[in-house]
Chains A and B, each alone.
Chain A
Amino acid sequence: MLELQGITKYYNPGTVNEMCLFNDFNLSVQKGEFVSVVGSNGSGKTSMLNILCGSIPIDRGRILFNGIDITNMPEFKRQSKIGRVYQNPAMGTCPNMTILENMSMADNKGKAFNLSRGTNRKRIDYYREILRSLGLGLEDKLNIPVGSLSGGQRQALALLMVTMTPIEFLILDEHTAALDPKTAELIMELTDQIVGEKKLTTIMVTHNLRYAVEYGNRLIMMHQGEIVMDTPQEEKMHLKIDDILDKFNQISVECGN
């Protein structure tokens, strides 16, 4: 279970550009939930993920993982339970290292990075097998630097890498936004399959309303640092894209756009 309690976050405090993004923001995500998060630009979706992962500090409030307070835990330590995929496909992999080297590192997460051999030869067949399941032909390119792959291939690899070792939470930050429609579809199906298989608690930020409606079992809409719509599973099954669009328009009117 994942909880944000009474989160307050100011940007540029003490300057003329001071902006309060979150004021007493609360969210709790139950184990096994797959939450889709939608909202306009600047509504705080990505900031919320950054706060969860510890990439940015907060001014007030508490962050709990399974009831344990991790508010002051540094970002890299939190990542032992989290897998995060970014909007930019280049963020999740090392471009100058080969696919094999990248996967070997990902496979070693949670263990010591010591002076033993970086790649375990016995695992190569396993890597090849899971790459084959992607259907992108990556299984024949193990010794090619990741930098020469396409964005979609890199994103698929990044998704595989963060979910290779046992994690509890999967954080998806518009992870299909930079991909062409067909590749985005493929990555989305892969995501759904992995989340189902590994029973991961997932938060997915997306601008694609169709994905938000089709995937996951809870939908949240954010606006100006607040949750303006929270649809649980039973209601979400009957939710249509138009319902969300209506809500979106309503918010925009309130803003005077």
Chain B
Amino acid sequence: MLDRILMIMIGALEEGLVYAIMALGVYITYKILDFPDLSVDGTFPLGAAVTAIAISKGVPPVLTLLFSFFIGAVAGMLTGIIHVKFKIRDLLAGIIMMTALYSVNLRITGGKANVPIFMKENIFNNTFLNGMPEVVSPFLVSAVLFVIVVIMKLLLDLYLETKSGYLLRAVGDNPTVVTSLAKDKGVTKIIGLAIANAFVALSGCVYAQKSGYFDIYTGTGTTVMGLASVIIGINLFKRLSFFKATTAVIVGSIVYKICVAIAINFGLETSDLKLITAVLFFAILVASNERKRRAKSNA
């Protein structure tokens, strides 16, 4: 019994860490840029597709991390250009990219909706890690994921403290200030979307390597999952200001996955996953509204 719980927890932790990278990207668009970016549903499988093809062609797995990061950035940039240069509303710009990417992803995989890469070495399964002692093997995947997530989090934290990062935060906070600094707010938004989607595609890359295949449907509902993680994290840690928002988002993603794992263990089917996501997301939004309302009536 305890073994089973431990296994479930480790599984949820792993999933949570994989999606935490994506959630960091959603944090950039949703919280910093104030941009509801639906292209995430397309850039997540984009990263997975690129990775699956690259690995099956024999590209070193570590390089695929860079590849997918870069390609995600390009996709995000396109969403930004559609929104900024062609003046299309944020939601619609994301939908256009998401729809286009579905076909693009299938093009990348040569029309295959499913590309298995079990047989190949990847960042979780290679001669170096397999040489580790037996005792640590159940925790290896989590450890690798943890390292990647922490590196990405620290990079994002560092970036947000640079001049360029300040400008990114300013454009979501008050675009007028960016204009009055003689900077193009459109360009700043495009940069933000590029970084965000780079994170998302990287998350897709890690996901493909962890699960051992690419599946065209992995992208569906990614945005909602990311939003749920961000909102859970930010609300959980609202009172604890010494925790950075990026840390909160990562914890939010793990908590979210644990909730889902618990729901499934109470007898729900995996096909109910999206319903669980929707209900959880709904519950979180109601809860955070409730708190806001109470705070207001107390004031």
Do A and B form a real pair? Answer: yes
**Interface residues, chain A, CB within 8 Å of chain B?**
74-77, 79-80, 83-84, 86, 90-97, 101-102, 104-106, 108-110, 112-119, 162
Q: Contact flags (1/0) for B150-175 with A, using CB distance below 8 Å?
A: 00000000010111111101100110
B165: min CB distance to chain A, Å: 6
Which residues on B sit within 8 Å (CB–CB) of A102?
Answer: 177
- Given A79-B182, A97-B166, A117-B162, A92 and B176 contact (CB-CB distance below 8 Å): yes
Q: Which residue of A lies closest to B176 (CB)?
A: A91
Q: Is the CB of A79 within 8 A of B180?
A: yes
Number of B interface residues at 8 Å Cβ cutoff, please give it: 22
CA–CA, A90 and B185, complex, Å:
18
Q: Is the CB of A104 within 8 A of B166?
A: yes
CA–CA, A93 and B181, complex, Å:
11
- Given A97-B169, A104-B166, A116-B163, A91 and B174 contact (CB-CB distance below 8 Å): yes
Q: Is the CB of B169 within 8 A of A117?
A: no
Q: Is the CB of A105 within 8 A of B170?
A: yes
Which residues on A sit within 8 Å (CB–CB) of B179?
Answer: 75-76, 79
Which residues on A sit within 8 Å (CB–CB) of B163?
Answer: 104-105, 108, 112-118
Which residues on B sit within 8 Å (CB–CB) of A74?
Answer: 184
CA–CA, A65 and B173, complex, Å:
30
Q: Is the CB of B181 within 8 A of A105?
A: yes
Q: Is the CB of B166 within 8 A of A105?
A: yes
Q: Is the CB of B181 within 8 A of A109?
A: yes
Judge whether B183 is part of the interface by a CB distance below 8 angstroms: yes
Q: Is the CB of A109 within 8 A of B182?
A: yes
Which residues on B sit within 8 Å (CB–CB) of A83?
Answer: 180
CA–CA, A109 and B163, complex, Å:
11
CA–CA, A105 and B165, complex, Å:
10
The residue that B173 contacts in the complex, of A79, A95, A113, A118, with Cβ under 8 A, is A95
Which residues on B sit within 8 Å (CB–CB) of A91?
Answer: 174, 176
Which residues on B sit within 8 Å (CB–CB) of A77?
Answer: 182
Which residues on A sit within 8 Å (CB–CB) of B164?
Answer: 113-115
Which residues on B sit within 8 Å (CB–CB) of A112?
Answer: 163
Q: Is the CB of A93 within 8 A of B162?
A: no
The residue that A118 contacts in the complex, of B161, B174, B180, with Cβ under 8 A, is B161
Q: Is the CB of A80 within 8 A of B182?
A: yes
B191: min CB distance to chain A, Å: 10
- Given A76-B184, A101-B166, A109-B181, A115 and B173 contact (CB-CB distance below 8 Å): no
Q: Which residue of A lies closest to B186 (CB)?
A: A76
Which residues on A sit within 8 Å (CB–CB) of B180?
Answer: 79, 83-84, 92, 162
CA–CA, A2 and B232, complex, Å:
52
Q: Is the CB of A118 within 8 A of B182?
A: no
Q: Which residue of B lies closest to A101 (CB)?
A: B166
Which residues on A sit within 8 Å (CB–CB) of B178?
Answer: 76
Q: Is the CB of A96 within 8 A of B162?
A: no
Which residues on A sit within 8 Å (CB–CB) of B162?
Answer: 114-118
Q: Is the CB of B169 within 8 A of A113?
A: no
Q: Contact flags (1/0) for B130-166 with A, using CB distance below 8 Å?
A: 0000000000000000000000000000010111111
CA–CA, A104 and B184, complex, Å:
18
B176: min CB distance to chain A, Å: 5
CA–CA, A187 and B161, complex, Å:
31
CA–CA, A112 and B184, complex, Å:
12
Q: Which residue of A lies closest to B161 (CB)?
A: A118
Q: Give 16 CB contacts A-B under 8 Å.
A: A79-B180, A79-B181, A79-B182, A91-B174, A91-B176, A92-B176, A94-B173, A96-B173, A97-B170, A108-B163, A113-B163, A113-B166, A114-B162, A114-B163, A116-B163, A118-B162
CA–CA, A105 and B169, complex, Å:
11
CA–CA, A101 and B173, complex, Å:
12
CA–CA, A108 and B164, complex, Å:
11
Task: Please name the 6 residue pairs, one residue from A and one from B, whose CB atoms are nearest each other, closest first.
Answer: A80-B182, A94-B173, A113-B163, A118-B166, A79-B182, A113-B167
